[in-house]
């Protein structure tokens, strides 16, 4: 992070100066920015106040006083640039350390405990209402039959996810892009808005890359199904039901019925779907001949591949490259 920008962020703003003296929260939003239907204990912040002529809004969270419960009509990211903080998110206690990112869905209630001198929390808001945790779900689902199963399983349990925490202890991939966005925002150089929006697309894609769906609290049957689909995801080119049944010590017919019951899809359908997903990725990202791609994903019949690809993606492979 640029040292001048960091020094600027560590300076005390007007509200911070007041909060440092009193220890109490000073309202930082005008009445027009708050939904009049909101209760005092759960304020809803409206879109129009922040964005006006921009699609992304970034600010430093004011320190020295707790921030009351509130929700937004837009997706929000809280990035811990320095120090740490505690929040109550959707009724659960969340602790953020340096480099951690908290993604809050539209309508998710949260409050923030008092930040101290060396705690720098950055708020990133963007108003594209098509972007939500469901958006991340769809992106992740479209890249793997494993995530398709996990996400469908989560929704079947009525476990609606309203927030996600991306920890910095895995690697600094997300932090690098987030700090590029912050630097560009506060530098206010020419074309910064365009650059920030492109960085944001990269950031969202990285979030999808690091988005893991919890497999906790699953039944033994669900855990077995997850492992089976992991096997399919990794060995889709030449996996066979007979080998899979032998691996887990089951009769072939029993395992076939088990997969159908747990996933709602047949073994062959799941395998074909993963092959199509991989083929789609190679078609979009490489210049390999489509005939070579068909062979590389383990499909033998080209006519069958084109028919199934059309049914799954509503387009032909060659159209992806136009």
Return the exposure string of 234-262: e unless at least 16 CB atoms fall within 10 Å of the residue's CB, then b.
eebeebebeebbeeeeeeeeebbebbeeb
Predicted local confidence at residue 263, as pLDDT: 87
Mean pLDDT of 256-270: 92
Strand partners, 121: 80
Alpha-carbon span 239 to 10, nearest angstrom = 56
Whether pLDDT at 163 is above 80: yes
Length of the chain: 322
Rounded CA separation 150/250 (Å): 23
User: What is the rounded average pLDDT of the residues 283-311?
Assistant: 92
pLDDT tens per residue across span 124-145: 987 655 565 666 666 666 667 7
Q: What is the pLDDT of residue 157?
A: 45
Could you tell me if 1 and 179 are in contact, meaning their C-beta atoms sit under 8 angstroms apart?
A: yes
Residue 202 in this model has a pLDDT that exceeds 80: yes
* Tokens coding 109: 């209630």
The mean predicted confidence, pLDDT, of the chain is 83
Query: For residue 95, what pLDDT band results from cuts at 50, 70 and 90?
Result: very high
Which of these, 274, 280, 238, 313, lies nearest to 144 by C-alpha position? 274
Q: How large is the greatest C-alpha to C-alpha distance in the chain, in angstroms?
A: 74
* Element spanning 120, H or E: strand 120-126
Residue 31 has pLDDT above 70, yes or no: no
Task: Say yes or no to pLDDT of 153 above 90.
Answer: no
Distances 124 to 60, 79, 196 between C-alpha atoms, Å: 9, 8, 11
Instruction: Provide the 3-class DSSP secondary structure of residue 216.
Output: coil
pLDDT of residue 41: 52
Classify residue 167 by its DSSP letter. -
Alpha carbon distance 180, 193 (integer Å): 13
CB 260 within 8 A of CB 297: no
pLDDT for 102 beyond 50 = yes
Residue 158 pLDDT: 41
pLDDT tens-digit readout, 206-224: 887 777 766 665 678 888 8
What is the distance between the alpha carbons of residues 33 and 30, in angstroms, rounded to a whole number?
6
Going along the chain from its start, the domains and CATH numbers come out as 3-130+161-209 (2.60.120.280), 220-321 (1.10.10.60)
At residue 43 the predicted structure's pLDDT band, cuts being 50, 70 and 90, is low
Higher pLDDT pick, 101 / 200 = 101
- Determine the Cα–Cα distance for residues 74 and 172; give it in Å rounded to an integer: 26
Percent of the chain with pLDDT over 70: 78
The answer on pLDDT for 122 being more than 80 is: yes
């Amino acid at each position: 992070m640029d040292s001048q920008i960091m020094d600027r962020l560590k300076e005390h703003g007007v509200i911070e100066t007041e909060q440092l003296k009193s220890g109490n929260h000073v309202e930082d939003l005008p009445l027009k920015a708050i939904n009049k239907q909101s209760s005092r204990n759960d304020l809803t912040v409206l879109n129009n106040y922040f964005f006006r002529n921009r699609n992304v809004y970034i600010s430093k969270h004011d320190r020295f006083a707790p921030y009351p419960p509130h929700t937004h009509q837009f997706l929000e990211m809280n990035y811990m640039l320095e120090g740490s903080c505690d929040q109550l998110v959707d009724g659960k206690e969340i602790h953020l350390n340096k480099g951690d990112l908290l993604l809050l869905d539209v309508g998710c209630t949260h409050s923030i405990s008092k930040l101290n001198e060396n705690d720098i929390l950055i708020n990133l808001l963007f108003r594209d209402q098509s972007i939500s945790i469901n958006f991340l779900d769809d992106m992740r689902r479209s890249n793997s039959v494993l995530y398709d199963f996990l996400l469908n399983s989560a929704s079947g349990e009525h476990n609606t996810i309203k927030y996600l925490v991306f920890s910095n202890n895995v690697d600094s991939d997300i932090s690098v892009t987030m700090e590029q966005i912050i630097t560009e925002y506060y530098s206010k150089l020419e074309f910064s808005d365009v650059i920030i929006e492109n960085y944001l697309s990269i950031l969202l894609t990285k979030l999808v890359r690091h988005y893991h769906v919890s497999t906790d609290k699953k039944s033994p049957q669900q855990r077995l199904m997850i492992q089976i689909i992991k096997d399919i995801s990794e060995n889709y080119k030449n996996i066979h039901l007979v080998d899979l049944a032998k691996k887990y010590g089951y009769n072939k017919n029993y395992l076939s019925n088990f997969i159908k019951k747990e996933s709602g899809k047949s073994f062959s359908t799941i395998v074909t779907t993963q092959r199509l997903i991989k083929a789609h990725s190679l078609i979009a990202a490489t210049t390999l001949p489509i005939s070579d791609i068909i062979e590389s994903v383990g499909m033998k019949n080209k006519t069958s591949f084109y028919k199934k690809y059309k049914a799954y993606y509503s387009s032909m492979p060659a159209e992806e490259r136009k």
